[in-house]
A = this chain, B = another copy of it.
Amino acid sequence: MGRKRLQESTDGRPTVHTVAARAGVSIASASRVLNGVGGSAETVRKVRAAAAEVGYVPNAIARSLQAQRTGLVALAVEDIGNPVYVAMMRAIEAVVAASGRQLLVHATGGQIASETSLLRRLANRYVDGMILSPIRVTDDHLAALVQSPVPVVVVGQLGADAPVDNVRTDSRHGVALAVDHLVGAGRRRIGFVNGPLDTVPGAARDAGFRAALDRHGIDHDEALVEVGDFQYAAGRAAAERLLARARPDALVCANDLIAVGALHALLAAGHRVPEDVAVVGMDDTELAQMMFPQLSSVSLGSAERGRRAAELLLTRIADPSLPPRREQVPPSLAVRASSRAAVPAPRPSTEEVSREREE
């Protein structure tokens, strides 16, 4: 530039210089007063008056450059349209806002490249930290994570010994809750509509489903298992494929979007829910309660995980030297109409593992 220092910013808006000149004090005094530190009564009065007169608003960028922090925190999730992320985001936003920061939301579409590029871009210091909820985890992720110059908290499973702050749940156990509930209600031909097996949650839920069947001594019938995407349309299509070749008396779905799709497929095909086929979703989102019949769903504590992730992030920003921490939120089952009605039970049905919710 080389332009002479003026009293107004480039675009004509007032700066500390404007205020200082108007108040007849130095920019240092003006800045101090505006930040509420120091200043004689008279100086405070003059500066406040001058600032009000010119409508001074501090420039956040200049302040960030000086302070080496932006007051922004990023959240990166796969799909902003999935209500489970909306719930998580709301919880995060509450914590972040309470600390005087703002939340920047990224939708990654689950793309590895998009997520790692986001991680690397952190190096430009545009945000003070990031919460990442990846559905696939690669070596690239891990490398970018440990090298990140900015604090990152991961929501979801991560390699056992990755030195990264991490909030997880036990979705294997979550699936077990669903299967136990259905078996306890006398269901035996339990189908499973999952998301992609090459995702972390997809793999965990598949393992959980098979382990639960084993525990109950139920044979695996591959005709009762179908895989799609973690979306409504894919879930519905997957359920339709499954129903075309098998006759389940219950469907466990890997998330609520899939469950809603499965419910639609069942009702459209003339099946009664829950009389003919019970349905249990996962994530226990708002969507589950909007359906008719209301969907039973395994809560994976998404709001709670979000809240904790935000707290981990804030404490790490405050003290980057903390050791890596790991927290776990237990799943729980919300039983609703979609799986409540009784099939004549061959034996007395077991107690609910977890809380029940009424409509």
Q: Is the CB of B292 within 8 A of A267?
A: yes
Q: Is the CB of B68 within 8 A of A286?
A: no
User: Please, how many angstroms separate the alpha-carbon atoms of A62 and B70 in the complex?
Assistant: 11
Q: Is the CB of B60 within 8 A of A62?
A: no
Q: Is the CB of A65 within 8 A of B65?
A: yes
- Asked if A11 is at the interface of the complex by the 8 Å CB criterion, the answer is yes
Select from chain B the residue with minimum beta-carbon distance to A10.
B68
Partner of A90, one of B70, B80, B149: B80
Among A83, A149, A292, residue most surrounded by chain B Cβ atoms (within 10 Å): A292
- Asked if A325 is at the interface of the complex by the 8 Å CB criterion, the answer is no
A84-127 interface mask toward B, CB cutoff 8 Å, 1 = contact, 0 = none? 00100110010000000011111100000000000011011110
Q: Is the CB of B149 within 8 A of A286?
A: no
Q: Is the CB of B267 within 8 A of A149?
A: no
Which B residues are in CB contact (< 8 Å) with A292?
A: 263-264, 267-268, 292
Which B residues are in CB contact (< 8 Å) with A11?
A: 68, 149
Which B residues are in CB contact (< 8 Å) with A105?
A: 103-105
- Asked if A37 is at the interface of the complex by the 8 Å CB criterion, the answer is no
User: Please, how many angstroms separate the alpha-carbon atoms of A59 and B149 in the complex?
Assistant: 12
Which B residues are in CB contact (< 8 Å) with A58?
A: 124
- Asked if A272 is at the interface of the complex by the 8 Å CB criterion, the answer is no
Q: Is the CB of B232 within 8 A of A290?
A: yes
Q: Is the CB of B65 within 8 A of A123?
A: no
Q: Is the CB of B57 within 8 A of A123?
A: yes
Select from chain B the residue with minimum beta-carbon distance to A125.
B59
- Asked if A217 is at the interface of the complex by the 8 Å CB criterion, the answer is no
Q: Is the CB of B68 within 8 A of A65?
A: no
Q: Is the CB of A80 within 8 A of B89?
A: yes
- Asked if A261 is at the interface of the complex by the 8 Å CB criterion, the answer is yes
Partner of A260, one of B93, B104, B290: B290
- Asked if A13 is at the interface of the complex by the 8 Å CB criterion, the answer is yes
Min distance, Cβ A10 to any Cβ of chain B, angstroms? 6
Docked complex: A107-152 residues within 8 A CB-CB of B: 107, 120-121, 123-126, 149
28 contacts between A and B (CB under 8 A): A10-B68, A11-B149, A13-B123, A13-B149, A55-B123, A57-B120, A57-B121, A57-B124, A59-B124, A61-B61, A61-B64, A61-B65, A61-B70, A62-B65, A80-B86, A80-B89, A80-B90, A81-B86, A93-B107, A102-B104, A104-B104, A104-B105, A232-B286, A260-B290, A263-B292, A264-B292, A267-B292, A292-B292
